[in-house]
């Protein structure tokens, strides 16, 4: 029998057994039953979410939603959004440089010029253009929701895979706050370097003017000298330094109006996540005497100054809310600005003079500077005669300035401008007390303007050069429908079927100089999703299961034409699978949560000209090229030709998409008990992923792996101080977070190694 099927069956069976135990468990009368986003240990069936832009019980939302509170994330070892794959099965991270390229249920982003993330990220209702937000820590996070499947109607822009909704803590009229300090230690095993970590963050809130004006301030700092080793010097490297701040003002002049002004500044220098390792023989440096190339995970060998990954994010938002007799009107205005600066030796070697001057060993520095203005007005009605309506309008205006340099010489700059005008509506009708029908539609118009500057050296987008060699425009219009039917079989047991669509923005094709005709645009990719599921909720149990089927069209992907690679479309792609998640309170002390995503099929139906290289297992070849000093070199596999390897093409039809493991699961066992000295809590979280291709060609194959996180803490009676010990990746698993396959070399980036530490929290 298939091992994946056996694993899936075991997880589902375990949840059902836990459900039986949970239904027999006594209630904990000492805790509050107030519903909240994320799991409430007193009543696990009363979880509420805002997945449909209104407050609902999770069991009544006709789609798959993972809702987690900040405390759950912290105790599961999630230190930042990038760690979400450890608690959200079906989510796999990848990326290039400072950009994050996640995949959800097999739908993921590819690094194409002008492309955007298919997983829409919202922080306090504000859409985030730059995917680098997924790298950042948010110490004032209140809760998080991951919506699986297309969200084209209610969340619209670039949500073909799903959406991540982050809510940060709001100001309060009660004076309160907290300070947390941690000390961690990377143990230095498995090839990594031993290193300390220190961090501190805090949050304070309270009234500023009676019961009318309140404010809050959150700030944090985190530092480690790095757990990487520089093979050139033998010294420790990979510094990670992060700053975070967010301030809010809350004005409530009446009981039906509320205004929130927020500003934030986030800065990080994350060299640890930028350090990449090239397998033996896969870097041009391996063929040039005098070059030094690292081949062991957590070891690097870059040219001086080219290991960097700095990201600065700042912005301001204004939220106005009016609660009227017939519903709530909300307006969100925001301005975001991000400056990302990256650098790497794309041959992933400390190059010799011969390798450097021959342009086999290449160093690249790049910037991405983007600004985005967004305005959304949303209306959520009260239920009137069984009807509830959610609708609104959305406006978005963004620019991305993307200069890059090779060997300190300009290699081209792109200025990408795009706008989004959208109107949407979603109607829910409770036909009977058991039957509910929902339907929605969103119309979007997206004008785009892209320019290419061949020799621009100016990196200030406010002073754009007047001359450019290419200018292309394109407008994409689309309709995204959604329809669902939900039936309540028993109290707390709902079944549903939902059809939904979502799209990822197309591009103008400004980079496609060799297509016929030239500058062919890249069409928007569209996911048409069918999902059927059951949801059960009781005082001690929440259990959800869903089967999904995706018709994935125009997947944005690199396409090889025989002489060069272009940005294009691949597919169609067929995806289907099963999601199951549940939470069971086993007794007064123990709570078990588990989630599994099974993706048996995620394959290209038609992709005959996928791009590859001579090292790819699909096209092994023996080639003679000119090596160092003009000496011919005969090689099989990777060949250090001009700019690296020789490009090739292969037929990927029928192949599995990259970064789409067949089975992923996460489970947490939590303990909480009140003793005479105080309250003791502990938790253990395990994450497992089956093997998958980290890139399309299969040159990088990630074996199956598991990680383990654990923590235990005590809150002394009559004390406001909690002390805990914790560990992340206690299995010290080595797993790839991203890869780079290019004509200049191949390399893999790895997740953080084992770390243990102590944390002290003080609340007032």
Extract the tokens encoding 413.
């700059």
If you search the block for the tokens 């109290």, which residue do you land on? 491
3-state SS class at 272: helix
CB-CB contact of 432 with 441 (8 Å): no
CB-CB contact of 440 with 153 (8 Å): yes
Pairing assessment for the beta strands 162-168 and 119-123 based on DSSP bridges: parallel
DSSP letters, 77-98, are T--SGGGGGGTSTTEE--EETT
Q: What does the chain come to in residues?
A: 764
CB-CB contact of 644 with 623 (8 Å): no
If you search the block for the tokens 């009140």, which residue do you land on? 674
What are the b/e assignments for 114-130, b being 16+ CB within 10 Å?
Answer: bbbbbbbbbbbbbbbbb
Domains of the chain: 3-763 (2.40.170.20)
pLDDT of residue 343: 76
Indicate whether this model's pTM tops 0.75.
Answer: yes
Q: Which of 699, 563, 559 is nearest to 618 (CA)?
A: 699
Read off the pLDDT of residues 234-279 as tens digits, 9 standing for 90 and up: 999 989 999 999 999 999 999 999 999 999 999 998 887 777 888 8
Extract the tokens encoding 610.
């996928």
DSSP letters, 598-644, are EEEEEEESS-TTEEEETTSTTS--EEEEE-GGG-EEEEESS--BTTB
Extract the tokens encoding 67.
């809702």
pLDDT of residue 98: 64
Give the H or E element holding residue 15: helix 3-24
Read off the pLDDT of residues 376-423 as tens digits, 9 standing for 90 and up: 999 999 999 999 999 999 999 998 888 777 766 666 788 888 899 999
Q: Could you tell me the end-to-end alpha-carbon distance of the chain, in angstroms, rounded to an integer? A: 55
Where do the DSSP E strands lie in 491-540?
Answer: 493-504, 525-537
pLDDT of residue 398: 92
The angle at the Cα of 746, spanning 728 to 552, to the nearest 5 degrees, equals: 80
3-state SS class at 281: coil
If you search the block for the tokens 């300035």, which residue do you land on? 401
In angstroms, rounded to a whole number, what is the distance separating the alpha carbons of residues 541 and 40? 11
Q: Which of 129, 126, 130 is nearest to 97 (CA)?
A: 130
pLDDT of residue 516: 78
In angstroms, rounded to a whole number, what is the distance separating the alpha carbons of residues 15 and 11? 6
Please compute Rg for the chain using Cα positions. 26
Phi, psi of 673 (to 5 degrees): -150, 140
Give the H or E element holding residue 126: strand 126-127
Q: List, as own/partner pairs, every contact residues 69-72 make where C-beta atoms lie below 8 angstroms and the sequence separation is at least 24, other chains included.
A: 69/36, 69/37, 69/38, 69/39, 69/142, 69/143, 70/38, 70/141, 70/142, 70/143, 70/144, 72/38, 72/39, 72/668
In angstroms, rounded to a whole number, what is the distance separating the alpha carbons of residues 645 and 620? 12
Extract the tokens encoding 436.
């509910």
3-state SS class at 23: helix
Residue ranges of the chain with per-residue pLDDT less than 50: 1-35, 41, 615-623, 625-629, 636-637, 640-645
Contacts of 675 (CB under 8 A, 6+ apart): none
In angstroms, rounded to a whole number, what is the distance separating the alpha carbons of residues 570 and 240? 37
Extract the tokens encoding 185.
């230690």
3-state SS class at 47: coil
pLDDT of residue 12: 41
In angstroms, rounded to a whole number, what is the distance separating the alpha carbons of residues 275 and 268? 15
Pairing assessment for the beta strands 299-300 and 65-69 based on DSSP bridges: unpaired
pLDDT of residue 612: 67
DSSP letters, 527-573, are EEEEEEEEEEE-SSEEEEEEEEEEEEESEEEEEE-SS-EEEEEE--E
Q: Is the dihedral of CA 150, 151, 156, 162 positive or negative?
A: negative
Distances (CA, A) of 281 to 70, 220, 361: 44, 42, 14
């Amino acid at each position: 029998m298939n091992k994946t099927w056996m694993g899936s069956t075991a997880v589902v069976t375990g949840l059902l057994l836990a459900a039986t135990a949970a239904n027999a468990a006594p209630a904990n009368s000492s805790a509050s039953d107030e519903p909240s986003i994320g799991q409430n240990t007193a009543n696990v069936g009363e979880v509420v979410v805002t997945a449909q832009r209104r407050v609902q019980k999770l069991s009544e939302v006709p789609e798959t939603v993972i809702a987690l509170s900040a405390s759950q994330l912290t105790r599961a070892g999630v230190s930042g959004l990038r760690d979400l794959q450890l608690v959200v099965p079906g989510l796999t991270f990848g990326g290039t440089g400072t950009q994050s390229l996640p995949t959800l249920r097999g739908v993921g982003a590819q690094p194409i010029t002008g492309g955007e993330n298919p997983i829409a990220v919202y922080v306090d209702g504000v859409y985030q253009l730059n995917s680098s937000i997924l790298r950042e820590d948010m110490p004032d996070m209140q809760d998080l929701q991951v919506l699986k499947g297309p969200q084209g109607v209610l969340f619209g822009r670039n949500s073909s895979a799903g959406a991540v909704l982050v809510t940060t803590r709001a100001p309060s009229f009660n004076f309160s706050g907290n300070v947390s300090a941690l000390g961690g230690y990377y143990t230095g095993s498995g090839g990594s370097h031993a290193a300390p970590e220190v961090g501190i963050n805090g949050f304070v809130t309270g009234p500023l003017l009676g019961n009318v004006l309140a404010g809050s301030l959150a700030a944090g700092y985190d530092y480690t000298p790095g757990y990487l080793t520089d093979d050139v010097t033998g010294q420790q490297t990979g510094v990670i330094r992060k700053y975070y701040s967010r301030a809010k003002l809350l004005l409530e002049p009446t009981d039906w109006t509320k205004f929130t002004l927020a500003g934030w500044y986030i800065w990080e220098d994350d060299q640890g996540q930028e350090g990449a390792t090239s397998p033996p023989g896969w870097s041009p440096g391996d063929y040039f005497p005098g070059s030094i190339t690292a081949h062991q995970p957590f070891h690097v060998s870059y040219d001086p100054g080219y290991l960097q990954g700095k990201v600065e994010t700042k912005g301001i938002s204004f939220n106005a809310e009016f609660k009227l007799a017939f519903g709530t009107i909300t307006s969100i205005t925001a301005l975001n600005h991000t400056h990302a600066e990256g650098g790497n030796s794309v041959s992933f070697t400390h190059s010799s003079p011969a390798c450097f001057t021959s342009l086999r060993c290449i160093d690249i520095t790049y910037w991405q500077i983007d600004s985005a203005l967004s305005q959304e007005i949303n209306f959520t009605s009260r239920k009137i005669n069984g009807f509830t309506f959610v609708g609104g309008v959305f406006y978005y205006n963004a620019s991305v300035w993307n200069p890059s340099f090779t060997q300190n010489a300009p290699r081209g700059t792109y200025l990408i401008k795009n706008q989004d005008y959208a109107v949407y509506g979603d109607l829910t009708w409770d036909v009977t007390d058991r039957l509910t029908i929902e339907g929605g539609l969103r119309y979007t118009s997206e004008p785009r303007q892209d320019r290419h500057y061949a020799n621009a050296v100016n990196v200030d987008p406010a002073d754009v050069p007047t001359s450019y060699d290419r200018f292309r425009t394109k407008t994409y219009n689309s309709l995204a429908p959604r329809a669902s039917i939900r039936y309540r079989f028993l109290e707390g047991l709902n079944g549903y079927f939902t059809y939904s669509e979502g799209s990822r923005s197309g591009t103008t094709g400004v980079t496609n100089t060799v297509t016929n005709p030239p500058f062919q645009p890249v069409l928007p990719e569209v996911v048409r999703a069918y999902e059927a599921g059951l949801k059960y909720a009781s005082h001690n149990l929440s259990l959800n299961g869903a089967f999904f089927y995706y018709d994935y069209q125009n997947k944005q992907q690199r396409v090889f034409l025989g002489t060069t690679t272009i940005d294009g479309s691949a597919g169609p792609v067929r995806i289907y699978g099963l999601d199951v998640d549940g939470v069971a309170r086993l007794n007064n002390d123990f709570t078990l949560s588990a989630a599994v995503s099974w993706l048996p099929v995620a394959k290209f139906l038609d992709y005959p000209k996928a791009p590859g290289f001579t090292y790819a297992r699909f096209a092994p070849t023996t080639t003679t090229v000119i090596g160092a000093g003009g000496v011919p070199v005969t090689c099989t596999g990777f060949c250090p030709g001009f700019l690296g390897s020789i490009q090739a093409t292969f037929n990927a039809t029928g192949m599995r998409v990259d970064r789409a493991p067949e089975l992923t699961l996460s489970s947490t066992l939590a303990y909480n008990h009140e003793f005479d000295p105080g309250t003791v809590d502990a938790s253990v979280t395990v994450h497992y992923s089956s093997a998958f291709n980290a890139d399309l060609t299969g040159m990088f194959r990630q074996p199956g792996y598991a990680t383990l996180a654990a923590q235990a803490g005590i809150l002394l009676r009559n004390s406001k101080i909690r002390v805990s010990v914790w560990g992340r990746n206690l299995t010290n698993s080595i797993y790839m977070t991203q890869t780079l396959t290019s004509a200049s070399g191949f390399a893999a980036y790895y997740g953080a190694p084992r770390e243990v530490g102590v944390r002290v929290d003080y609340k007032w």
